Amino acid sequence: MSNNTETLEGWYCFNDFRKIDWTRWKLLSVEQRLKVLEELTDLLNTWTVYEQNAEGDHAIFQILGHKADIMFMFLRPTLKELAQIELAFNKTKFAEFTVQTTSYVSVIELSNYLPKGEDPYSRPEIRARLYTAIPNKEYICFYPMNKLRSEVNNWYMLSSEERNHMMRSHSLIGRQYAGKVKQIILGSVGLDDYEWGVALFADDPIYFKKLIYEMRFDEVSARFGEFGSFYIGRYLLNEQLDQLLEL
Q: For residue 2, what pLDDT is reported?
A: 45
Q: For residue 225, what pLDDT is reported?
A: 80
Among the listed residues 209, 164, 202, 163, the one whose alpha carbon sits nearest the alpha carbon of residue 183: 202
At 62, which amino acid appears?
Answer: Q
Q: Which residues pair with 19 in a beta bridge?
A: 99
Tally Cβ neighbours within 10 Å of residue 1: 9
Q: For residue 1, what pLDDT is reported?
A: 42
Domain extents in the chain: 7-244
Q: Is 156 a catalytic residue?
A: no
Among the listed residues 35, 11, 6, 36, the one whose alpha carbon sits nearest the alpha carbon of residue 21: 36
The strand ranges marked E within 50-160 are 57-63, 70-76, 98-111, 139-147
Q: For residue 93, what pLDDT is reported?
A: 98
At 187, which amino acid appears?
Answer: G
What is the helix, strand, coil percentage profile of the chain, to 5?
Answer: 40, 30, 30
Q: For residue 3, what pLDDT is reported?
A: 52
Out of 12, 139, 143, 235, the active site residue is 143
Q: For residue 5, what pLDDT is reported?
A: 61
Tally Cβ neighbours within 10 Å of residue 178: 9
Q: What is the CATH number of domain 7-244?
A: 3.30.70.1030
Listed in sequence order, the DSSP H helices in the chain are 22-26, 30-51, 79-90, 124-130, 160-175, 206-216, 219-224, 238-244
Per-residue pLDDT 10s for the chain (247 aa) are 445 568 999 999 999 999 999 999 999 999 999 999 999 999 999 999 888 888 899 999 999 999 999 999 999 999 999 999 999 999 999 999 999 999 999 999 998 766 677 888 989 999 999 999 999 999 999 999 988 788 788 877 878 788 777 777 777 777 888 899 999 999 999 999 999 999 999 999 999 999 999 888 787 877 888 899 999 999 999 889 988 998 6
Q: For residue 159, what pLDDT is reported?
A: 82
Q: For residue 76, what pLDDT is reported?
A: 96
Its pTM stands at: 0.91
